Structure formats: structure tokens, C-alpha cells
Amino acid sequence: MYALYVPLILCLLLAYLAWKYLNGCFKYWQKLNVQYVKPVPFFGNSFQIFTSQVTIGELLGNLYKQFDAAFFGMYMLHKPVLVIRDPELIKKVLVKDFHHFHDRSVLYDEQCDAIASNMLFFSKSPEWKLIRYKVTPLFTTGKLKNMMDLCKEVANDMVSYLRSYDTTNCIDAKELGGRYATDAINSCTFGIKTNSFKSDKVSFYPMCKEILEFDWKTGFSQVAYFIAHGLVKTFKLRFFDYQTSNLLRKVFWDTLNERERTKIVRHDLIDAMIGFKNSPNLTESFQFEGDRILSIAVQVFTAGFETIGSTVSFALYELSIQRDIQEKLRSEINSTFLQYGSFDYLVIKHMRYLHMVVQETLRKYPILPFLERKCAKTYSIPEKNLIIDAGTPIYIPLLGLHYDPKYFKNPDNFDPERFADKKVDKTFYLPFGDGPRGCIGARFSLMAVKVALLYILREFEVKPSPSRTPTKIRFSPYSVFLSPSTGIYLKFKANRVVD
């Protein structure tokens, strides 16, 4: 009879020991006299994330509103995390004292996922600096001017696609933005025409959509790379599943091998990858070959796809509701065309209201809604009476900062006029991050988004559908990015084009 109770006693003992251990972990911020969010057993403050109720960015934004201090503590599972609210402290972490915070806290583990771990976003010191140095020349002003012509070709395809639709039907702006992003990125960086606005039988878009389609399984794995490293290592979770990884390898290497065979030089990402392949040793300990080369291409594609596609769809959504803003932007587009006769890189760069609309879109909808770093060595903030231990993750909640009425009056309103002052304070407006590890492709993404919007609005009036357009956009809980959980259905009515 006693033997029957042994397993139960052991389970209770293990549960007690686990509770005791976690309860000790949850004393960390209390011992440092730092305000913190009260944790729950086992999950800390991440229960809503793991149950797919909110994204990481939304959780941090909600917690931001509960405090008024410069920073506060929380727990991702049992791990203490410092969340920073103060703009000056944010600037120190991202820029001034970057040498203390040069790495991100997201997991790097080639044994679990070689492709994801070697993306620039995941890379650790010193490799990230070497890779960034090699990739930066791809986004110079001269290269961007050439890329803009390619974006304009894709925008013309998009306009033709819209013209072919019955104006009484709705079009999913999320899918429209995704198709545009697919063609623009592949044309500009890989030199291939992917025909996303033609039949899906000959289009690359369905495959791209499959690669970046988030469900509960991929969502769980990707969240774990940020906040549950032990789970990733124990169960060998992949950021990209096997099917996606193999698909990415095939597309990339087929394209690279064909470029080598034809010896065509375009001075784009593929040419740079060929250079890496032929001289792979960045350092004696870092061999730049295989999946490490592929990872750079995957970084450019995935980051660009989400940033360009989602920003275009969010902007069209807001402009469909704010008709006066849409008309003001269309007026700028038409007057600019009448003055210059075309849209080139410098012309678009000086379209002030277009830039303000894009800035406001990224304020309301920062595609990566939080920034994160890891403290590399003990860091003291004497004026705040705080010492940050080495290894502590640092989170910066953009959905808190971008919606704080101290910095943006009536933050829920879509109001491009708040950016009428050309100088934007980067201490609390951070859609592309800041400092040495800010987004390397920010200028390309902004240019591509602007081209899409001006080509659409020059020819079409965008309207909401009373029955299908959401009154408020909900975000997918399965993505670390800010991505709509459903389609954004809008109507596109042909306009009289100003010649």
C-alpha cells in the first residue's frame, strides 16, 4: 500500500522544490528595490504570451502604462527582465553606452537553427559587426536610386493588378502589401522577377506567404527564442521549420548558382553573397560559408517582407478612414508630378507630407514592437541607484513609448501633422531602433513603402467597406512582429489621373 503513495509523494516533493526555486527567483527585483510586476508561479509575467492572448510587444505596452518610473522589473518565466521607459536611459543603452549592450538577448544556437542563428539580427559580438560591415554597402544612396527604379516597375504591376479588379469588390490590403513586398525585395536584392501580381501558378508569392505564415507552432517556437531559451535547447525548437528552411536553401542556392553560371553582375545582394562564398573567412574562428551565407539573404527578405508589406497595408487602412488626410496626400502627389513630371529618388525624398504619413504609420504600427538588448557587463546607473547585472535582458516597449501622451498628444489618433517638425526625437520614436544595431535596411524599406503608396493613391481612392473593413486592427498573437490577425479588406475606386 505504501508503494502506491511513493510516486505521489515524489511528485509533490518535486512540485514543492520547483515552487521553492521559482519563488526564490521571483525575489530578484524585490532585493534590488526595483518596482516590478507581480509574477505568477512558473510563468512569471509571460502567461498571456504562452497562451496566445497577446504578443510580446502588446504585453510590454500594457505593462508600460502601469508604471511611471524610469524602469521596472518583470519576469519572462523565471528570468528577470528590466523594462526601460525613460528616453534618456534608452539612449544610453542603444547609443551612448552601447559597449555595455552590444548584443541582443534573443537566443543564438546553431545546433537548433543554423539559418536563424546566423541572421544579423541574432548574431553576437564580434561576428555581427563583421557581417554588418560587409552588408552595409548594399544600401548606399547610389544603390537605393537604382533600387527605386525596380520598385517603380513593381508598383506599375500592382496598379495594373488593381485596375483588373471589379471596383465593387474588396481587396485585402494585407495581401496587396505582401505581394508588392515580395516582388520589390526579390527584384532589388536578388535580381529575380517573381511576378506576384500575375497568376499564382507562375508567382513566387504563395511560397513566400507559406514561409512567413505564422501559426501557433511557429509562433511558440519564435517566442521561445526571445524568452524561453531553455525550452529551445531542450526540445531543439527551430525558428524556421524544416520545410521552410529547405525551401529557403533551394531558392537561394539555385539563384546564386545561376548568377555564377551566367556571370551577370548587378552589384546586388547576390553578388555580395558570391563574394562571401569565394572569400569565406571573416576571421580565423568564423567561417562564412553554407547556411551562414544564406542567413544574410533570409534576414533581408524576412525583415523587408514584414516591414514593407505590413506598413503599406496599415497606411492604406488609416488613409481609407481618414479621408481628409488621404486627399491632402493625393494633392501633394499630384502637384509633385505636375512640377517634375515623374517620381525619382530625390523627388520622393522631398515629398514632406508623404514622409509624415509613413512616419505616423510606423508610430502607430511599429513592425517590431519592442527592442531588446542584453547587458554584457555590470552597468551602474548611480542617479537611479541601480546596478544592472551582466546577462540581464533589457526590453524597450515601443507600443508604450509611441502611445505615451507625454510624447504624442492623442496617441490613438492617426495624425501625420505631429511630424511636421522635421526633427524627430529618436529617444522615444524608434520604429527602426537606434545606434550601431539599428535596422540596416531602414532607408530601403521607407523608399519602397513610399513608392507603393504614391502609385496607389495617384490612381485610386481607397475606401473602407462597411461590412468587411475592421473597426480596429487586431494583431496576430503568433508573431513577434506586429502583423494583422485577419485580412484588411478595402475598396479601391479608380481616380482621374493628373497628367
In-domain check, residue 268: yes
pLDDT value for 201: 56
pLDDT value for 481: 92
pLDDT in tens, 124-143: 998 898 888 878 888 889 88
Main-chain dihedrals φ then ψ at residue 36, nearest 5 degrees: -150, 165
Q: Are strands 460-464 and 489-494 parallel, antiparallel or unpaired?
A: antiparallel
In-domain check, residue 257: yes
Residue 204 has pLDDT above 70, yes or no: no
Distance, in Å, from the CA atom of 225 to the CA atom of 236, rounded to the nearest integer, reads: 11
If asked whether residues 386 and 460 sit together in one domain, one would say yes
pLDDT in tens, 291-309: 888 888 888 888 898 999 9
Residue 159 has pLDDT above 70, yes or no: yes
Beta bridge partners of 380: 387
Distance, in Å, from the CA atom of 132 to the CA atom of 117, rounded to the nearest integer, reads: 15
If asked whether residues 234 and 271 sit together in one domain, one would say yes
In-domain check, residue 98: yes
If asked whether residues 333 and 278 sit together in one domain, one would say yes
pLDDT value for 499: 63
181 to 191, 467, 494: CA distances (angstroms): 14, 27, 22
CA 150, 155, 161: angle at the middle one, nearest 5? 135
If asked whether residues 114 and 8 sit together in one domain, one would say no
In-domain check, residue 481: yes
If asked whether residues 21 and 38 sit together in one domain, one would say no
pLDDT value for 174: 94
pLDDT value for 454: 95
CA 317, 48, 393: angle at the middle one, nearest 5? 95
Name the residue type at position 63: L
CB 78 within 8 A of CB 228: no
CA 249, 255, 261: angle at the middle one, nearest 5? 130
Instruction: Read off the pLDDT band of 272 (50, 70, 90).
Output: confident
Instruction: Lowest mean pLDDT of 64-78, 257-271, 275-289, 330-344, name the range.
Output: 275-289
pLDDT value for 219: 86
If asked whether residues 10 and 68 sit together in one domain, one would say no
C-alpha cell at 201: 501558378
In-domain check, residue 479: yes
If asked whether residues 67 and 7 sit together in one domain, one would say no
If asked whether residues 14 and 119 sit together in one domain, one would say no
pLDDT in tens, 402-461: 999 999 999 999 999 999 987 788 889 999 999 999 999 999 999 999 999 999 999 999
Higher pLDDT, 61 or 425: 61
If asked whether residues 160 and 13 sit together in one domain, one would say no
Residue 245 has pLDDT above 70, yes or no: yes
What is the dihedral sign for C-alpha 161, 166, 167, 173? negative
E strand or H helix at 379: strand 379-381
**CA 187 and chain centroid, separation:** 20
If asked whether residues 21 and 144 sit together in one domain, one would say no
Residue set of the binding site for heme:
439
In-domain check, residue 499: no
Stretch 151-165: mean pLDDT: 94
Distance, in Å, from the CA atom of 371 to the CA atom of 433, rounded to the nearest integer, reads: 7
Residues sharing a CB contact under 8 Å with residue 450, sequence separation 6 or more, in sequence order: 348, 351, 354, 355, 358
Distance, in Å, from the CA atom of 39 to the CA atom of 42, rounded to the nearest integer, reads: 9
pLDDT value for 211: 64
C-alpha cell at 334: 499630384
Stretch 462-475: mean pLDDT: 93
pLDDT value for 394: 98
Instruction: Read off the pLDDT band of 8 (50, 70, 90).
Output: low
Residue set of the binding site:
439
Residue 208 has pLDDT above 80, yes or no: no
pLDDT value for 2: 45
**Mean of per-residue pLDDT scores for the chain:** 89
Higher pLDDT, 337 or 19: 337
If asked whether residues 21 and 156 sit together in one domain, one would say no
CATH assignment at residue 158: 1.10.630.10
CB 395 within 8 A of CB 67: no
Distance, in Å, from the CA atom of 54 to the CA atom of 50, rounded to the nearest integer, reads: 9
If asked whether residues 85 and 120 sit together in one domain, one would say yes
Instruction: Read off the pLDDT band of 105 (50, 70, 90).
Output: very high
Instruction: Read off the pLDDT band of 387 (50, 70, 90).
Output: very high
In-domain check, residue 369: yes
Residue 3 has pLDDT above 50, yes or no: yes
Number of structural domains (the chain) is: 2
DSSP tag of 389: P
Higher pLDDT, 195 or 448: 448
pLDDT value for 281: 63
Main-chain dihedrals φ then ψ at residue 32, nearest 5 degrees: -85, 0
Distance, in Å, from the CA atom of 180 to the CA atom of 195, rounded to the nearest integer, reads: 10
In-domain check, residue 225: yes
Distance, in Å, from the CA atom of 494 to the CA atom of 165, rounded to the nearest integer, reads: 10
Distance, in Å, from the CA atom of 476 to the CA atom of 26, rounded to the nearest integer, reads: 29
Name the residue type at position 102: H
pLDDT value for 6: 57
Number of neighbours of residue 234 by Cβ within 10 angstroms: 10
pLDDT value for 321: 97
Instruction: Read off the pLDDT band of 244 (50, 70, 90).
Output: confident
Residue 12's domain comprises: 1-28
What is the residue whose three cell numbers read 530578484? 28
Burial class from Cβ neighbours inside 10 Å (0-12, 13-18, 19+) for residue 62 reads middle
